[in-house]
Amino acid sequence: MQKKNEQTMNRIFDSAENLFSKKDFHEVKMEEIAKNANVGKGTIYTYFKSKEDLLFKCLMHNLEDHHKKFSEVVNTDKDFKTTLKDAFDFMFDFFKRKSALIQRIMGLMPQLKLSESDIKYAREMFHKTLDVSSDFFQRGIDEGIIINIMTSRQIAIVFQKMFDFNVMFAFYGEPEMSVEDCYRFFTKTFFRQE
């Protein structure tokens, strides 16, 4: 794919991500995606096999991006607590922009008719992403900062998922947690109390 195509594909990606974030898969129409991307309906099909494929590729596109950036955040020479704070900042922001999309897609995954290789790729991607996180928390455990009431992978999952609380807070009209509140919640639960 040449330069020009890359741009077209990215416009499609942006449009699709935007719409899939806001609406249910079946509420999003290919025509709408095409229009918002300023391309013809048929053009999408030169880049993606089907609507499901587009959804899947959107997810992977985001996961890869997230993986890359998150790796950069946690693979650093700073001390654990400082890095954790950076990680919270990063995730807090990422969550705000992408959680709706990812939540939605993951809820749909079981119904997607994916090829064997796609499933394999997705599984690897998910685990690779979790591994980065879990390795980081393992470091916290090894340094004696985090208590091991959970496995490092479980902690990584809680870390990913805890920002969901804010969605519910918003739903019920409660004040949302700031990134500092989130950090405090996390340390209260997982840090060894002095």
Partner DNA sequence: AATGAATGAGGGTTCATTCAT
Partner DNA sequence: AATGAATGAACCCTCATTCAT
User: What residue ranges bind DNA (CB under 7 A)?
Assistant: 1-5, 8, 26, 28-31, 38-43, 45-47, 50-52
* Tokens 């997607």, located at residue: 112
Give whichever of 50 and 169 is closer to its own copies, judged by the CB atom: 169
Q: How far is the CB of 70 from its own copies (least distance, A)?
A: 16
Give whichever of 61 and 162 is closer to its own copies, judged by the CB atom: 162
Sequence-separated (6 or more) residues with CB below 8 Å from residue 132: 67, 70, 71, 74, 75
Distance CA(187)–CA(184), nearest Å, equals: 5
Angle at alpha carbon of residue 56, lines to 106 and 97, rounded to 5°: 60
Residues 53-74 as b/e (b if ≥16 CB within 10 A, e otherwise) read: bbbbbbbeebbeebbeebbebb
119 binds, among its own copies, DNA, none (CB under 5 to 8 A by kind): none
Residue 8 near residue 43 (C-beta atoms within 8 A): yes
Q: What are phi and psi of 188, to 5 degrees?
A: -55, -35
Q: How far is the CB of 22 from DNA (least distance, A)?
A: 15
Q: What are phi and psi of 122, to 5 degrees?
A: -65, -45
Residue 145 near residue 134 (C-beta atoms within 8 A): no
Instruction: Give contact residues for its own copies (rule: CB under 8 A).
Output: 23-27, 103-104, 106-108, 111, 126-127, 130, 149, 151, 153-154, 157-158, 160-161, 164-165, 168-169, 171-172, 174-175, 184-185, 188-189, 193
Q: How far is the CB of 99 from DNA (least distance, A)?
A: 23
187 binds, among DNA, its own copies, none (CB under 5 to 8 A by kind): none
117 binds, among DNA, its own copies, none (CB under 5 to 8 A by kind): none
115 binds, among DNA, its own copies, none (CB under 5 to 8 A by kind): none
